[in-house]
Amino acid sequence: MSTDDSLDPIFEDRNSRRFARIYDSMNERSERKLESVRSELFRHVTGNVVEIGPGTGTNLRYYNIAEHVTLVEPYSAMRRILSARVGTARNSNLFSIVDGRAESMPADSQSIDTVVSTLVLCSVPDLDRTLAEIRRILKPNGALVFLEHHVGNGIRSKTQHALTPFMKKYAANCHLDRNTPQAICNAGFSVQSVVAVPNDLSLRLLPSWPMTAGIAIAA
């Protein structure tokens, strides 16, 4: 399932393994501020769910009303931490972990009620293909529940463009300069509700970037 020859390989190097190791401690402070955003978003996460790029499993504790959740994570360093966390989660029987990629997912067309993507669309090698794939697997009127950072305006966007090569290398292909909300709309989703994100979230050593959280419906 995870071997699709038309996709560039995912490179798992020393930097991406290190990124997985430090991910939770690096984000501890910003995660406290994101708790209310994630809680609000997950009120909309129902039915048969696919989460792309679950990483270390930050979202596991927010699943309350889903029926089943397939966690699609291509990086083995992330999957190892995720798997340990699923094992000890109160709701561990909800989850299956898959070695796969968001650009080519292990789900039939129109079979999924909700796709979850939090801080992932910045990292996928092919954003448009990922969004098309999400649309393919969602049922009519299914929901993409997302929380994503994206490019800002003016001097901020210049900084984001300048830092993106560094981030790609050291933060598992993270692009600071993608216009993700626009890409979601271009892919044929209509954003039905937006959840406010605190604007003072800074990651260690980095200023905060614009973020959008919301529910997009496959139009």
26 vs 217 by CB, closer to ligand SAM:
26
Pick the closest to residue 178 from 165, 191, 160, 194 (CA basis): 160
Are 194 and 170 within 8 A, CB to CB? no
124 binds ligand SAM (CB under 6 A): yes
What's the closest the beta carbon of residue 105 comes to ligand SAM, in angstroms?
9
Tokens of 166: 């560094």
CA distances from 70 to 97, 101, 133, 173, 174 (A): 6, 12, 15, 23, 23
Question: Residue 115 corresponds to which tokens in the numbers above?
Answer: 């796709």
Instruction: Determine if 73 is a binding residue for ligand SAM (CB under 6 A).
Output: yes
Site string for ligand SAM, 77-106 (x = CB under 6 A): -x----------------------xxx---
Are 21 and 80 in contact, with CB atoms under 8 Å apart? Answer: no
**String of contacts with ligand SAM for each residue 32-71, x by CB under 6 A:** --------------------xxxx--xx------------
Q: By the criterion CB under 6 A, which residues form the site for ligand SAM?
A: 52-55, 58-59, 72-75, 78, 101-103, 118-120, 123-125, 172
